[in-house]
Every structure is written in structure tokens, then in C-alpha cells.
A and B are shown apart, each in its own frame.
Chain A
Amino acid sequence: MIRDVTSALATCKLVDLIGILSKHKITGLPVVNNDQEVIGFISLHDIIRATLPNYLGIINSNSILSEFIQLSKSLREYSQHPIKEFMRKNIITINEYDNEVLAADLLIRNKIQRLPVLRDGKLVGIVTLTDICRVLMEKSENKE
């Protein structure tokens, strides 16, 4: 688990969220309330999907350039909107003492990159597939 609880409030503006993602060099983060309880998750994909619904579907097509211009216009238009308009509310989380197999299963089955880790419903960290691979590698090295 990455012991980082960087998160955003649902009232955070889209422009501010993009600032946080870019400074932390991450692609998504949990959305919390004032008690650090996770109420949603938002990623760059969620933002793109919400601001320009067709974009991800046509990303490989010849029209990518015109769509890209449209995307940048949409982002500017939505920049002052709160992220609660774009976040996923049906969130998948894991508890602190659940094992890495369950974490890997949740990440792969749900095709997500980052899994919020909770203790008593409050955010205590994030798990990514990279973390799980590292733990598994360390375990196999120890066995050898």
C-alpha cells in the first residue's frame, strides 16, 4: 500500500483537481468528505468521459486532432465545475487487513488502476497493481 491519503473534496473545482493530479504525478484519487470517508473516485478517464463522451471511443481514429481541440474546449468550459459532477460514486475499496490476492482481483476484475484502502471507513492509503507485483516479487525472492 502507498501510505498517502491525498484526496479531494467533492466541491473541489475541476481545474484544481487537475493541478493536484499533475503535481502528484498520478492519474486519479479518492474523493472524500470532511471526515476522510471515501464517497467517490475520480480519474482523468472519468473527466474525459464526462466532458467529451465520444473521445475515448475515437481516440485511435483519424479524427483525433479535431476531437482533441474539442476536448480542450470542453475542459476549459467545465474547469470551474465541482468534481462531484464527474466522479464515480459506485466505488470499489478494500480494507487495511485484506490480503494482496483480493486487492489484485478487485483491480483486475474492475479494470481500475488505484484502489483506496480504508480503516473504519476512513482513507489510510492506496493500492496499485505495481505495489501488489512488488510484494509478490519480494515474497518469491524470500522463498528462494
Chain B
Amino acid sequence: MIGTVTLNPAMDVILEISNLKINSYNKVLNAITTSGGKGINVSKAIRGYGRETIAVGFLGGGRGRMIEEELREIGITTNFWHIEEKTRSNTIILDKKTGEHTLLSEMGPKVTEYDLEMLKSIFYRVMSQCSAVTLSGSLPRGVPENIYANLISIAKERGVKTILNTSGEQFIKGLEGKPFLAKPDLRESNRVLGIKINNERDAIKAAKEIVQRGAEISVVSLEQEKDIIATQNEIWFAETDYHEIVNLIGAGDALIAGFAITLTEEGKNLEEAIKFSMACALASALREEEEFSSREEVEKCLKCVKLKKL
């Protein structure tokens, strides 16, 4: 079983519109409501591939129950702690005419110290059933920035491999827990540990620094479908030779799912893990729909991954 933690999930409302006009009447062509949040997306990708996964985190109100219901329907096991305030909602406006995406993101709910203690208790128990866990995404209000380091320590105590994928201060503090694999989320600032990622050299420098700070493996995305992977002794450059990407939303989460899957399979080495994870990301990027890729789709993409040891 692979665990995923989503502390700040969201109900994503995707509205398709043709030629959005501000301050005017706009007709919605299609509306899709789906559960979101990086950890939840990782669980969906793992389940799409056919592996078992359990999703843990905070949910609240009717939106929270809808998310829980949706996850169970697709075969994901849930163990969320329900808080007083309701789960946030993200509205994504897709303009079919211009191709522009507009994201309206609500602030997360407030979490209390009691909620945090309850979550840690659930996490400790769930880790007894897991071989790997991913800790992804932003934090709701009231959650300290060292939460991921705390959860990584709990998971390690129970012999579970940990994967950290977040941004900013919670990523830096999370590294103090010494995760097995760490990948900074660069979507907001393209910067990690004070290093601006503009080229391959910057990505290598950042990847080395992340390993220096305690991660056994680091993954730094350079640009679309290009990644640098570093360990204490090796540096790899991975890319795909398929360039007709249609949907990058969720590709990073699929990459994390790929690492979680291979890291829990007997006898897989780092090279195989990188290839498989890149294939998961590519398969996700080739799908127009929000659903995650199947095992067959991922396996087809394996041959498009190019790997070079630097």
C-alpha cells in the first residue's frame, strides 16, 4: 500500500468558456467538478496504474464528504480527519477560444492544534500498512511549516519510505526530516533554496544542494518533461522525446506516483525508477481528460524516455 498525504485538498471546479469577457455575461459550455490537491492526484495516478493507495489529510464540510466519496468510488482507501471549516474550492476557467487558463484559488481552511494531533495519530496508524508515503502540496492555515519533517520522522520510525513534494519554507523545513526522495514544487517561483532554475547547471546545483541537506534522491524539474535526478554519487538527466503535450496539469503528481510505485517494488534500481516515473508523467501529459493514465498507457510511454548519466 502507498500512502499519500494531502493537508490542503480542494474541490476543483473546471468551467469551459469560449472567449471569457470580464464584467459581462459568459455562458459555461461545460462544467466539471473533481477532487484536487497534489497528494490526492498522486493517489489517483497510483490507482490508475492498478496499485493500492490510501489517502490521508484534512477534509471539511460537504465538499470534504464529496471528495471522500469520489476517491472511494475509484478504489482509493480513505482515512481523512474532518475539521470544522470546509475544504477549499479552486475554480479553473478554461477559455476554449484563446486557450488561456485562469485559476481562482481559495485560501485553505483553518486547522487547530487538536486537528493536527488527530492527523498525526491517524498517520502513525496508517503507516503500519504502507511501504511508501508521499507528502505533497501546500499547507492550510494553522499548520506549522515543519509538519512534513514531523510526518517524515513518524514514517521513518515505522520503516516507510518518504517522498516530499512541496514548495517554499515547508520544503526546506521538510528536508530536515531527511526524506528518501525530495522534489521541489517550482510552479510558483521557479526557485528553490535560493537558486533560480534557469538552465541545466542551476538544476544540477539545486539537486545537489537538496541531497546535501538530507534527501537520498532529489528530483528537480528543468522545463517541460525534463528533469535532473541526483544522489550522493550520481547525477542523471532525463527527458522524453515526445513533444505533443496536451495537458501538463497533474504530470508532476504522476511523476511522484511513478517514483512511489517503483520504490516499493522489489529489485528496481534508480535507473528503472526514473524511466518509469518519466513515463507516468508523459502518459499523464498526453491525456486531455483529467483522469489518470492506465498501466497500458504508462508502459507505451516507456520507450519515449531518454536517460543520460552525467
Contacts and interface: CB of A to CB of B under 8 A. Distances in A.
Interface of A: 2-7, 9, 20, 23-25, 32, 34-36, 122, 124-125
A32 B121 CA distance: 12
11 contacts: A2-B72, A3-B77, A4-B68, A5-B77, A5-B79, A7-B125, A23-B82, A24-B82, A32-B125, A34-B125, A34-B128
Contacts of A3: 71-72, 75-78
A44 to B, nearest CB: 17
Nearest to B77: A3
Contacts, number: 43
A108 to B, nearest CB: 24
A36 B125 contact: yes
Q: Taking each of B68, B125, B126, which has the highest tally of chain A beta carbons within 10 Å of its own beta carbon?
A: B125
Contact of A36 (B68, B82, B126): B126
B136 to A, nearest CB: 20
B65 interface: yes
Contact of B129 (A6, A9, A20, A122): A122
Given A24-B82, A25-B65, A4 B77 contact: yes
Contact of A35 (B65, B72, B76, B128): B128
B128 A125 contact: no
A81 B82 CA distance: 22
A134 B99 CA distance: 42
A71 B232 CA distance: 63
B111 to A, nearest CB: 14
B54 to A, nearest CB: 7
Nearest to B73: A3
Contacts of B82: 20, 23-24
Nearest to A19: B82
A2 B72 CA distance: 7
A7 B124 CA distance: 13
Given A4-B68, A5-B54, A36 B129 contact: yes
B77 to A, nearest CB: 4
Given A3-B77, A34-B125, 9 more contacts: A4-B77, A5-B54, A9-B121, A32-B125, A34-B128, A35-B128, A36-B125, A122-B128, A124-B129
B146 to A, nearest CB: 23
A125 B125 contact: no
